[in-house]
Amino acid sequence: MNWITVKGRLISQFSAEPAPGGNYLFKDVSGLYRAMVDPKAAANPSFEEFTKLGVVERSIPKGTYLPAFGVYPNGIFGKFETTTGKLNLYSPRWGVVRPATSNPNVPGGKDGFRNATAQYQPLHEGYETFFDNGNPLTGTFTGHTSPQSGRSYTLQYLTNKARHRAHTVFDNVAIIKDQFEQNVKINPIDAGKRRIKDGDMVYAYNDRGCTKIPAMVTNSVVPGVISIEHGAWYRAHPTETVTVWQQTKYNSTTGEYDFEAVTMPVDVGGAENVLTYDFGGTEQYTGQAVSAHGGYVEVSLTKPN
Amino acid sequence: MSKWGFYFNQDRCVGCKTCIVACKQWNETKRGDAKINQLTLEKYQVSLHATDAGSNYIDPVSGTNNYKEYRKYYMKEMWRKVDRSETGNITESFDHTFKSTVDVRHLSMGCNHCDKPACVDACPMGVPFKDATTGIVLWNNAECISCGRCKSACPWSTPQFYVDNYATYAQNDPNRPKMTKCTLCYERINEGLKPACVAACWNRALDAGPMNELIAQYPSASTALPEFTASSTGPNIIFKAKTAKTA
């Protein structure tokens, strides 16, 4: 048996689409409820009762087609009258905060309100950038070759939350810190290619910096991805250095900052901040300090130049 | 005599190690070096420049993290341990989708306060002893000679010393580490409280009490767990194993 759960309070508060002028409308979604749950059956509450109950659970035969959103097989309700035919989640606050943009990296960027609609947004250095045509489904995996350093990157890093820290807070409390090793989690497939064994000291680096921490070979991360827990404190190695490329050289011709090679110490604290990129907070995406995103990285037993 | 022991629900444990930190914090005064490495305000207040210079945190020669000074004033003994075991793998199919069979299991364990404790039998000085009313294995380490026989006799290395090289210290050395171990927070249960590890477990994976009450409260619990090293010493701990992951 499958189970269908209809969350009444949530559905009744969906806003479907922003209207011209910036206001947004609440759509009547009672039809959706009637399509899902037969109101004639004695055990079923009416839509009004259902919105008060909040949640109704019914068992349905396995394999039954559930017309959750979009076209219904009985043809009564059809599509929602929205741009996608589905319920579009829309935030009026973000419609104000995020101005309209012509940035091609922002989907639907020409319409100021589309930016505030919940949708997939490719990352600045996301998985798509590893493919020759930018499409993981049809393209060929090529990795990313940096024009500055000439290095080839085939891994992506994640900066997941640590269990023992609130961002960077508590990383100086030894009694807590000692219980969890700051390491780079790497899949056995990727570790085998690089001859990395569990517990080896490895360098995780990209064009922005390098951190030297132990490797944890684990199937908890998928191949192609490494994970460094977010929030460890930066600690500079006394002697080891790497070359990094920073946008610090002002170019008076273009009016922009050019990349410049700078020598920086290797970090031994496991601070993922040496790998992340900086970008504006409210212009395109949320967040700046929290690096809850991926990017190019390479892991090696030997130190990069 | 009632037999006190632990209950561990593996399904609920997420490996956060809150039990370990709670144990160390509650038993701070009972750590082996409590009178040797005492924290004073002067020692605690290290200037920011001093920490940045690396003297406290980074070995100036090897560049590795150096926590020796950093952890000097905290409990080093692991009265409670959390083990992590991982099985399964991730495979990539022809359409480049991943299928995961990874299953992570934890085991949080302190002292099992055995019916026939191996540490009590092994000790030549009578340091660990079994409490007459609760069956808890307590200790008085005034006579401890740091031979380590208790630690090697215990199937789970529950008796602890604050450094690993405890056997190399001279007998008249005032810094010589002496045995300490889990007391099931004897002073807390005397007051009607749960042990610190149980009280701190926010996922309610742990419980402690007289074994007959625990068995009545958790009738489906078992004395065996794949991750648990079985022993003939009669450990007083029961488990609920993690539900097997279905693909």
Q: How far is B188 from chain A (nearest CA, A)?
A: 22
pLDDT confidence of residue A171: 84
Instruction: Compute the average pLDDT of residues A262-289.
Output: 72
pLDDT confidence of residue A29: 58
Residue A223 lies in a domain: yes
For A266, nearest residue in chain B (alpha carbons): B63
Same domain, A295 and A189: yes
Same domain, A276 and A173: yes
User: Does the structure show a pLDDT above 70 at A157?
Assistant: yes
| Contact call for B58 and A175, based on CB within 8 A | no
Tokens 């991943």 sit on residue: B98
pLDDT confidence of residue A101: 61
Same domain, A134 and A268: yes
A227 touches chain B (CB under 8 A): no
Residue A242 lies in a domain: yes
User: Does the structure show a pLDDT above 70 at A279?
Assistant: no
The beta-carbon neighbor of B102 closest among A220, A236, A240 is A220
Instruction: Please give the domain boundaries of chain B with CATH numbers for all domains.
Output: 4-37+76-240 (3.30.70.20), 39-72 (no CATH)
Q: How far is B88 from chain A (nearest CA, A)?
A: 8
Residue A103 lies in a domain: no
Q: A76: pLDDT confidence band, cut at 50, 70 and 90? A: very low
Query: Who has greater pLDDT, A73 or B236?
Result: B236
For A221, nearest residue in chain B (alpha carbons): B90
pLDDT confidence of residue A106: 56
- Tokens for B206, please give them: 């742990």
Query: Who has greater pLDDT, A74 or A270?
Result: A270
pLDDT confidence of residue A160: 87
**Residues 140-159 in A contacting B (C-alpha not used; CB under 8 Å):** none
Q: What are the pLDDT tens digits along chain B (247 aa)?
A: 789 999 999 999 999 999 999 999 999 999 998 888 887 766 655 555 555 554 456 666 676 666 666 677 889 999 999 999 999 888 888 777 788 889 999 999 999 999 999 999 999 999 999 999 999 999 999 999 999 999 999 999 999 999 999 999 999 999 999 999 999 999 999 999 999 999 999 999 999 999 999 999 999 999 999 999 999 999 999 999 998 765 4
Residue A107 lies in a domain: no
Q: Of A111-125, A242-256, B119-133, which gets the smallest average pLDDT?
A: A111-125
Same domain, A142 and A283: yes
pLDDT confidence of residue A215: 96
Distance CA A246, CA A261 (A): 7
The alpha carbon of B136 is separated from its chain's Cα centroid by a whole number of angstroms, namely 15
| Contact call for B100 and A222, based on CB within 8 A | yes
B84 touches chain A (CB under 8 A): no
Burial class (CB in 10 A: 0-12, 13-18, 19+), A214: middle
B86 touches chain A (CB under 8 A): yes
B244 touches chain A (CB under 8 A): no
B75 touches chain A (CB under 8 A): yes
Residue A148 lies in a domain: yes
| Contact call for A222 and B64, based on CB within 8 A | no
| Contact call for B86 and A222, based on CB within 8 A | no
Same domain, A61 and A158: no
Same domain, A138 and A279: yes
User: Does the structure show a pLDDT above 70 at A230?
Assistant: yes
Query: Who has greater pLDDT, A93 or A149?
Result: A149
Contacts of B45 in chain A (CB under 8 A): none
| Contact call for B65 and A187, based on CB within 8 A | no
Residue A105 lies in a domain: no
Residue A305 lies in a domain: no
pLDDT confidence of residue B224: 92
Same domain, A136 and A261: yes
pLDDT confidence of residue A33: 62
Domain that holds residue A27: 2-90
Same domain, A176 and A242: yes
Residue A8 lies in a domain: yes
What's chain A's average pLDDT? 74
B57 touches chain A (CB under 8 A): yes
The beta-carbon neighbor of B67 closest among A174, A188, A220 is A174
Last residue of a domain, one of A38, A61, A90: A90
Same domain, A175 and A43: no
B186 touches chain A (CB under 8 A): no
Same domain, A143 and A283: yes
* Ordered DSSP codes for chain A: -EEEEEEHHHHHT-EEEEPTTS-EEE---HHHHHHHS-TTSTTSPPHHHHHHH-EEEEEE-TT-----SS--TT-SS---SSSSSSPPPB-HHHHHHS-----TTSTTTTSTTGGGB------TT-GGGGBTTS-TTTS-B--EE-TTT--EE-EEEE-PPPTT-BTTBTTT-HHHHTTS---EEE-HHHHHHTT--TT-EEEEEETTEEEEEEEEE-TTS-TTEEEE-TTPPP-EEEEEEEEEEEEEEEETTTTEEEEEEEEEEEE-S--GGGTPPP--SSSSSS-SS---S--EEEEESS---
pLDDT confidence of residue A119: 66
Last residue of a domain, one of A90, A118, A149: A90
Distance CA A296, CA A285 (A): 19
B234 touches chain A (CB under 8 A): no
Tell me the sheet residues that pair with B65: B58
The beta-carbon neighbor of B102 closest among A136, A219, A268 is A219
Q: A193: pLDDT confidence band, cut at 50, 70 and 90? A: very high
Number of structural domains (chain A) is 2
Report ipTM (2 d.p.): 0.84
Last residue of a domain, one of A61, A90, A119: A90
Distance CA B41, CA B39 (A): 7
pLDDT confidence of residue A22: 46
pLDDT confidence of residue A90: 65
User: Does the structure show a pLDDT above 80 at A304?
Assistant: yes
* Ordered DSSP codes for chain B: ---EEEEEETTT-----HHHHHHHHHTGGGSTTTTTS---HHHH---HHHHHHTTTTB-TTT--B--TTTTTTS----SSEEEEEEE--EEE-TTS-EEE--EEEEEEE-----SS-HHHHH-SS--EEE-TTT--EEE-GGG-----HHHHHSTT--SB-SSTTGGGS-TT-TT----B---TTHHHHHTTPPPHHHHH-TT--EEEEEHHHHHHH-TT-BS--TTS---TT---EEEEPPPPPP-
Same domain, A286 and A170: yes
| Contact call for B21 and A175, based on CB within 8 A | yes
Instruction: Compute the average pLDDT of residues A160-166.
Output: 89
CATH value at residue A206? 2.40.40.20
> What percentage of chain A exceeds 70 in pLDDT?
56
A211 touches chain B (CB under 8 A): no
Residue type, B242: K
Same domain, A165 and A231: yes
pLDDT confidence of residue A100: 57
User: Does the structure show a pLDDT above 70 at A32?
Assistant: no
A237 touches chain B (CB under 8 A): yes
